[in-house]
Structure 1
């Protein structure tokens, strides 16, 4: 069951979508509402809209307790679990939010579950307001939000209501105390590729990282990973996000001393610019992060061939992307898999979760973890999804897996 979410600006009437059909719940059973509009997302996801209040002579007030149980707000549902999806549906991140929402619809259809109802709320109108509405509507689990600042706004509201948050953020600083993050944490990718490089004989390591939050966390993970793997840290160079600063940092790193491997914790485009400079003082094994996973341009650049990077497996994601294009007429954003997997996780737990009761949060800490489009993962005691990653090599025709992801813990 998927519903288009109700926002804090909703009027007195609310609508409920049931697999494409719609029932209108009004404060009065004696008057038929006019102006109902149906919007279909990609021919599959039914979206609910506001219905203008009817005009004309005043209607007779409805009974205080309608005999059929229908009243303002969302209808009572005692047979299914109420789950809220908090993603941007408007604004600059609307396309990503819609891709995640569409993927949750696909997961519900593919799992053939009838025990879960998902209502979508637009965080672009205010994440805190969306969370308050979700709690007021009786949702017992929140999927999302996407942005770390939205997670910070939602967390205290959800915590007070004893509703856990399963966020799509990759910011580990917002995890914990009822908040679990499913995003791809950069440190895990760095640790995986450094460990693999060390196992192949690379001893002396250097890194090139941007002066961003992502870069800072990647650099910290890199230092720890080199030490843990028994390697030698030669140098870490940072740069502002400009071509001149990138080239300067790459040149400093190239002249910092002999090294076997260099991590570039940035996009594929910036790696392509930096690698010729990094290799100008001798050949080095180039390492990357999960950011390279979706950058096809890497395979078309001769200087990048032979580079290694770690990421979640793309095998099942390719199948999801194909089905997504068939249903919605366009390619999904890579983060759509997080929406799909969050629903699979919810459906699994829903088997032993009584509708109307609090979500069994301890089940998220299961030692055997969960599986999905992005492979197996499990949450640590901080609420961070620890993922099984594969290592790929950049080749002339694309990426080739050279060290598969584990299939069990």
Structure 2
């Protein structure tokens, strides 16, 4: 059995929790491929936008998130290139049925598009509630299972990150990948995203090793991972876990077992730079992972702090993105500016964390940078792109 240093055990205490807080159980996506013409906008009038936030649940975390989302949305409204938006805030209480009722009320009161809600089940319920009203929903979820029809997800997706990381790895000559993932919905979804990215970019998925969400099972998986790497001559080990789960343990025990990023590059599907104390873990040094455009993120954070005196919630910027996209489209003066075709324009938009675009399947593509950790400091290996090439797919 391998020794586990105390900090790894401490971070691993949350291993039984979901890998990503906003990745929920799959819900039924609203059928269809979008809504053709979209709602008709009246020239010269402010466009009513409904912002659905999780306030009213009685949970402090929901209240803080709700306020940050509203703050970020209003911050984006300060610079809309002449577009006028009438932002109307509705509290969902973090509840799916309440969210659906509030969405119906918002549309009845004139909303032309819905921004939010946060949780996947609520977003799915909202999409169904307004499916026959020619209204699109730009949710803050990252769950691709609910995307489609009139529902878009603004949250970063596994597929987007996997595509970016595999593309970079292939450019560095990596071609034989071992996937290491947890035996839960998030881990399985991450595995599938990595597999798709590897196969579409000419690499080889040589093995997949899973583990149950407990410290003992992670430890027990180490010999299996080592065998998979060595017997398949793998030059990359792609892990789906995050810093609050198995990453500290895997990144310590694999090198102790003889599998290190020096010979088989460690790659992460989640961010390895948060919380900050993760940067000091020996096992993550030299690993590759994706981060939002650092320059754009810093600019947004500075503007937010200047306006509101505090830092934005980690997903607060998604509300900024939604308003930025809506404003950019409305400023063009077209009566059908919020149609499915307009929302999914190939050029995309510029938001709180860099460029992004909505895809016809309801998911999104974001311009990500590739980072590593050297001497407990984040270093950018490949900068985030500043524009998209070709149409999204």
Partners of 2:65 and 2:372 in 1: CA distance: 28
C-alpha displacement of 1:113? 5.2
Rate the CA distance shift 1:396–1:389 in 2: closer, same or farther, 3 A.
same
Rate the CA distance shift 1:293–1:136 in 2: closer, same or farther, 3 A.
farther
Partners of 1:354 and 1:340 in 2: CA distance: 22
Q: Is the 8 A contact 1:290 1:312 kept in 2?
A: no
C-alpha displacement of 1:326? 3.2
Runs ≥4 residues deviating over 6 A: none
Of 368, 379, 390, which residue of structure 1 is paired with 2:358? Answer: 379
C-alpha displacement of 1:274? 0.8
1:230 aligns with 2:202: yes
SS at match of 1:294: coil
Rate the CA distance shift 1:362–1:195 in 2: closer, same or farther, 3 A.
closer
C-alpha displacement of 1:157? 1.9
Please, what TM-score do these two structures have when normalized by structure 2?
0.78
C-alpha displacement of 1:388? 2.1
SS at match of 1:89: coil
**What does residue 119 of structure 1 align with?**
88
Rate the CA distance shift 1:288–1:202 in 2: closer, same or farther, 3 A.
same
1:265 aligns with 2:265: no
Rate the CA distance shift 1:84–1:274 in 2: closer, same or farther, 3 A.
same
Partners of 2:46 and 2:117 in 1: CA distance: 22
SS at match of 2:78: helix
C-alpha displacement of 1:396? 2.1
Note the alpha carbon deviations across 1:152-185, whole angstroms, 9 max, x for none: 1101222222111111111112112111221100
**What does residue 258 of structure 2 align with?**
281
Of 310, 315, 320, which residue of structure 1 is paired with 2:295? Answer: 315
Partners of 1:87 and 1:191 in 2: CA distance: 30
Matches within 5 A, 1:182-201: 182-201=154-173
Matches within 5 A, 1:96-111: 96-111=65-80
SS at match of 1:255: helix
Which protein is bigger by CA-based radius of gyration? 1
What do you get for the CA RMSD once the two structures are aligned? 2.3
C-alpha displacement of 1:342? 0.8
Of 386, 389, 392, which residue of structure 2 is paired with 1:407? Answer: 386
Question: Which stretch of the first structure deviates more once superposed, 101-110 or 325-334?
Answer: 325-334
Rate the CA distance shift 1:407–1:394 in 2: closer, same or farther, 3 A.
same
Q: Is the 8 A contact 1:353 1:360 kept in 2?
A: no
SS at match of 2:210: strand
Q: Is the 8 A contact 2:178 2:229 kept in 1?
A: no
Rate the CA distance shift 1:352–1:227 in 2: closer, same or farther, 3 A.
closer
Partners of 2:209 and 2:163 in 1: CA distance: 18
Q: Is the 8 A contact 1:266 1:291 kept in 2?
A: no
Partners of 1:361 and 1:225 in 2: CA distance: 26
1:90 aligns with 2:56: yes
1:79 aligns with 2:45: yes
Note the alpha carbon deviations across 1:331-390, whole angstroms, 9 max, x for none: 2122111111111111111123468x8833321121212122222222222122122222
Which runs of 5 or more structure 2 residues have no equivalent in the other structure? 1-42, 389-393
Rate the CA distance shift 1:230–1:367 in 2: closer, same or farther, 3 A.
closer
Of 195, 212, 217, which residue of structure 2 is paired with 1:245? Answer: 217
Rate the CA distance shift 1:323–1:368 in 2: closer, same or farther, 3 A.
closer
- With CA pairs under 8 Å and 6+ residues apart, which has the higher RCO, 1 or 2? 2
C-alpha displacement of 1:148? 1.0
Partners of 1:354 and 1:301 in 2: CA distance: 52
C-alpha displacement of 1:311? 3.1
**What does residue 7 of structure 1 align with?**
none
Note the alpha carbon deviations across 1:245-291, whole angstroms, 9 max, x for none: 22222332123242221111111242121112222123231101243
Matched residues, number: 333
Of 105, 109, 123, which residue of structure 2 is paired with 1:151? Answer: 123
Matches within 5 A, 1:291-302: 291-302=271-282
Q: Is the 8 A contact 1:85 1:101 kept in 2?
A: yes
Rate the CA distance shift 1:361–1:230 in 2: closer, same or farther, 3 A.
closer
Please, what TM-score do these two structures have when normalized by structure 1?
0.76
